[in-house]
Amino acid sequence: MGFVQFMASSNGRIARIVAGVVLIILGFVIGGGGIVLSLIGLVPLIAGATDTCLLAPLFKQPMKGAEIRKG
């Protein structure tokens, strides 16, 4: 599972955090309906910060990054 392994790695976590921050900033820049975009941006930001891969169960992998890296 290359995708899940990448998302559990340090680079994957950084990518999720950066993507979340970018979405949040874009939401504030757009304004109005962009607040929804900002709220959506919280998902990858929090997932990256907590070392959780929300898509991992779709690939029959555990959600915690540490468990993915172990096995």
Inter-CA distances, 57 with 10, 12, 52, 54, 63, Å: 19, 16, 11, 7, 6
Do 12 and 60 contact (CB within 8 A), yes or no? no
Note the pLDDT of residue 4: 87
H runs (alpha helix) in 9-64: 10-30, 34-49
- pTM to 2 decimal places: 0.83
Do 35 and 14 contact (CB within 8 A), yes or no? no
- Eight-class DSSP state of 33: T
6-62 confidence digits (pLDDT tens)? 988 999 999 999 999 999 999 999 888 889 999 999 999 999 999 999 988 999 999
